[in-house]
Amino acid sequence: MTAITVSPTQICHLSASSPSSASSSSHQAHTHTIHSPTDHHISIFSPNGRLYQVEYAFKGATSSLTSVAIRGADSVCVVTQKKVPERLIDPTSVTNIYEITPKIGAVMTGMSPDSKAMVSRIRYEANQFEYNYGYTMPVHVLAKRIADLNQLRTQQSGLRILACTTLLVAVDDEKGPTVMKVDPAGHFAPYKAAAAGNKEQEAVNYFEKRVGEFGTNSTDDTIRTAIMCLGSVLGSDFRGSEVEVASLTGKGKFGKLTEDEIESHLNAIAEMDA
């Protein structure tokens, strides 16, 4: 009987041409061909008509804290969670609520670096408008400008989409109390009440059951409704140091409430529930 010898080169060739290896190679090539370009580039649609990088930005914006904004009869209010990432960080330096102008405020939800970059751009646009035209930029014009900038980032591969959602609030001279929401893709719209973040859908469901109240509540009722909404969707009680609250009335200035003021509203809510 003659012995059959097979060289290492032939073994490698036979192994590479086996059915299982061929199937695996074909699957890898197919996966690379379909998913790599659409997954790694902003402006390339997938075969299903989706932009994966835009969806990733939305996930980054909704995987953090929860924020809500409500408009009342003559006021607006925003409430958001406050979490200090490290014990050594000064708690007073951690915030998600920013003053854009004395009459416009913003609550940012999403990645902190992206949120701060967005706030800087919003402030620049508002100040540039006032410098050019001599009056304060209307909040709906500011929302449209920021939305246009966000949408531009979905068209250019050299710019990463900012993973943050912006809630702008103001008491406009013409439109009255206004809440505007701008998402990472560039969509914007006015709302009676809006939410953003991890528990956004739960907060929207809460608001939809009370949609008739918005636009008629007093300032205190508006603040307490926003706080009750956040407490309801989080499913737990919280202290004044664990949330941030800011409000604005028609004749006042946008500003955050102190911990003592927040505690007083929490006590009033507890008495209502009792």
Residue whose C-alpha is closest to residue 96's, from 105, 221, 87, 88:
105
In the predicted model, is pLDDT for residue 112 greater than 80? Answer: yes
Q: What is the pLDDT of residue 20?
A: 45
Domains of the chain (ranges plus CATH)?
65-273 (3.60.20.10)
Residue whose C-alpha is closest to residue 233's, from 55, 79, 77:
79
Tokens of 111: 């990645």
Q: What is the pLDDT of residue 271?
A: 87
Give burial (CB, 10 Å; 0-12/13-18/19+) of 55: middle
Share of the chain above pLDDT 90, in %: 61
pTM assigned to the model: 0.83
Tokens of 95: 């915030």
Share of the chain above pLDDT 70, in %: 86
The pair phi, psi for residue 65, each rounded to 5°, is: -75, 175
**pLDDT, tens digit, 9 for 90 and up, residues 25-44:** 444 444 444 455 677 777 78
User: DSSP character for 87?
Assistant: T
pLDDT band at 227 (very low <50, low <70, confident <90, very high): very high
Give burial (CB, 10 Å; 0-12/13-18/19+) of 267: exposed
Q: What is the pLDDT of residue 17?
A: 43
In the predicted model, is pLDDT for residue 128 greater than 90? Answer: yes
Q: Which residues pair with 76 in a beta bridge?
A: 71, 248
- b/e code 6-36 from CB counts within 10 Å (16+ = b): eeeeeeeeeeeeeeeeeeeeeeeeeeeeeee
pLDDT band at 240 (very low <50, low <70, confident <90, very high): confident
Q: What is the mean pLDDT of the chain?
A: 85
Q: What is the mean pLDDT of the segment spanning 204-225?
A: 90
Q: What is the mean pLDDT of the segment spanning 205-218?
A: 88
Q: What is the pLDDT of residue 9?
A: 46
CA distances from 58 to 163, 183, 264 (A): 6, 8, 35
In the predicted model, is pLDDT for residue 167 greater than 70? Answer: yes
Q: What is the pLDDT of residue 23?
A: 44
